[in-house]
Chain A
Amino acid sequence: MTKAGRMAWQAALVIACAAPLAWLIVRAAGGELAEPVEDITHLTGEWALRLLLASLAVTPLRRIFGWRGLAPFRRTLGLLAFGYALLHFATYLALDLGFDFAALAEDVGERLYITAGFAAFLLLLPLAITSTRGWQRRLGRRWLKLHRVVYAAGALAVLHFIWLVKADLRDPLLYAALLAVLLGVRAHHAWRSRRARAGA
């Protein structure tokens, strides 16, 4: 793929991923929504999780199907996931809690699903910061190790979702299953390459 072509695809990806939020904001502005803060919270949270899983799907898809062209999108997807996670947290802090930091501390300390979500967000923060080529170079092999933290962030994000629903577990369990598959593929790959090395 040419550089210009890749740029165009990247731009299209960003626009496509931002579209659901833009549409929700248009509807909120039109006064269509009874509880827009809740809608924005749910949408940003769900898209953060979707994009996180999408970023985790890039490497397995590349390995299994040889889709090498996907590789450059991993960072974009990861950063979009972080962007939605940031908006999710900001919506909660600003619009839901009204910057009441005592309430934030209480929520994080006492409510397990918020503890999990908050931890997932904190784990994503250093990954977003070190996502640049410069940091990749500087950290070398340690960069890969650091970025394995994303598995923990994904697991915490899924737990956050499972623990917050009232009765209908379908959606969170679907995400849990997807995450399990993606991590399973990785575990399988790691096990095979270790065996290959041991055999050699």
Chain B
Amino acid sequence: MPSLRSAQIPGIPEREVTDERLFLRRREFLRAASAASLMAAGGIAFGETAEAALTDELPGVLPAPPQFRTDEEQTPWSKATSYNNFYEFGTGKDDPAARAHTLRPRPWSVAVDGEVARPGVVPIEDLLRPHALEERIYRLRCVEAWSMVIPWVGIPLGALLARFEPTSKARYVAFETLVDREQMPGQRRRVLDWPYREGLRMDEAMHPLAILAVGMYGRVLPNQNGAPLRLVVPWKYGFKSIKSIVRIHLQEKQPRTTWNDEAPREYGFYANVNPEVDHPRWSQARERRIGGASGFSALFEQKIATLPFNGYAEQVAGLYAGLDLRRNF
């Protein structure tokens, strides 16, 4: 495992590489605005209501560089925001869209603590302020064998962690979702052992593909997709990408993670997308891509092959050199 110091923290991509698409869409925001300034502008970002969130466009997002984007057909916004697993709002796929309006994504603070030189409970505005928002167009592969292509807006996780100065003992990052039965009515039942917990090895967290997202499709993240701050780790099954984060804890030991606790035979700590290691109850070799097909044609869409590390093997396989991926699934 590379040490933190040697892990590469990505810089801000070249600003002069202006995407024509972005140019046509939003001439007035060609310069890269920082996350903080966008929130100051009009105060609409992280809107008070779900309706506002639907129209809250994030200005000045840096376009995704080629290594962080796929040109595959994107999942329509309507489907990416209506078909979700977010058990804090119920176990049905349509529960989050119907019920997540009770979540209040602002004010919001995140505790960053544990093995860091500068721990603190930080308001989300301060957490994001030094970073430029970047677009990342990633495949999202759910452990249930469906997938989407989503243009996220966020900041590199590694750059954020570096600001808190992890100590030499920081080998893992643990994340926790909010616990609040009023805002998250699904937590009134003990379907899972709340809070939802996830974790990464430090080198995974520092990998440039790993981001903390605050938006998607150029807009503020809708509540049902994990507002106001969620993890996106595109080479792992979707359940690793924890939503509505309130705590980031750096630690020496491997953290407990929710689905691994729930069913250790079925969900591993690593949960790297792997077509060769089946879930005990279903095959992981193929996936149903949720795309733009509508009406009856959607019924006859063929499943597509699942790729090792969800197609990001070239970038991340090196993290797992020498690790038996069958045992460490």
Known: A34-B82, A35-B288, A167-B192. A28 touches B300 (CB 8 A): no
- For residue B276, CB closer than 8 A to chain A, the reply is no
B139 to chain A, nearest CB (A): 16
B263 to chain A, nearest CB (A): 8
- For residue A37, CB closer than 8 A to chain B, the reply is yes
A40 to B192 Cα, complex, angstroms: 27
Q: Classify chain A's interface size.
A: 20 to 34
A111 to chain B, nearest CB (A): 6
Binary flags per residue of B93-116, CB closer than 8 Å to A gives 1, else 0: 100000000000000000000000
Are A167's CB and B283's CB within 8 A? Answer: no
- For residue A29, CB closer than 8 A to chain B, the reply is yes
- For residue B146, CB closer than 8 A to chain A, the reply is yes
A-B contact count (CB 8 A): 55
Q: Which residues of A contact B191 (CB under 8 A)?
A: 167-168
A36 to B82 Cα, complex, angstroms: 13
B245 to chain A, nearest CB (A): 21
A36 to chain B, nearest CB (A): 5
Are B302's CB and A35's CB within 8 A? Answer: no
Known: A113-B281, A167-B87, A167-B91. A31 touches B294 (CB 8 A): yes
- For residue A103, CB closer than 8 A to chain B, the reply is yes
Are A37's CB and B299's CB within 8 A? Answer: yes
B window 270-310: CB within 8 A of A: 280-283, 288, 290, 294-296, 298-300, 302-303
Q: Classify chain B's interface size.
A: 20 to 34
Known: A95-B299, A167-B191. A34 touches B83 (CB 8 A): yes
Are B295's CB and A35's CB within 8 A? Answer: no
Q: Which residues of B contact A95 (CB under 8 A)?
A: 299-300
Q: Which residues of A contact B79 (CB under 8 A)?
A: 34
Are A29's CB and B288's CB within 8 A? Answer: no
Q: Which residues of B contact A113 (CB under 8 A)?
A: 281
- For residue A184, CB closer than 8 A to chain B, the reply is no
- For residue B262, CB closer than 8 A to chain A, the reply is yes
Known: A34-B290, A106-B283. A28 touches B299 (CB 8 A): yes
Are A28's CB and B298's CB within 8 A? Answer: yes
A window 27-50: CB within 8 A of B: 28-31, 33-38, 40
Q: Which residues of B contact A111 (CB under 8 A)?
A: 280-282
Q: Which residues of A contact B281 (CB under 8 A)?
A: 111-113, 163-164
A27 to chain B, nearest CB (A): 10
Known: A111-B282, A113-B281, A164-B281. A30 touches B295 (CB 8 A): yes
A37 to B83 Cα, complex, angstroms: 13
Are B290's CB and A28's CB within 8 A? Answer: no
A60 to B298 Cα, complex, angstroms: 43
B128 to chain A, nearest CB (A): 30
Are B91's CB and A168's CB within 8 A? Answer: yes
Are A35's CB and B83's CB within 8 A? Answer: yes
Are A29's CB and B296's CB within 8 A? Answer: yes
Q: Which residues of A contact B296 (CB under 8 A)?
A: 28-29
- Which among B191, B298, B302 has the greatest number of chain A C-beta atoms within 10 A? B298
The 6 closest A-B pairs by CB, nearest first: A31-B294, A34-B83, A168-B91, A34-B79, A31-B295, A29-B295
If A38-B288, A106-B283, A167-B262 are given as contacts, then 16 extra A-B residue pairs at C-beta distance below 8 Å, sorted by A number, are A29-B296, A34-B79, A35-B93, A35-B146, A35-B288, A36-B299, A37-B299, A95-B299, A98-B302, A111-B280, A111-B281, A166-B144, A167-B87, A167-B91, A167-B191, A167-B192
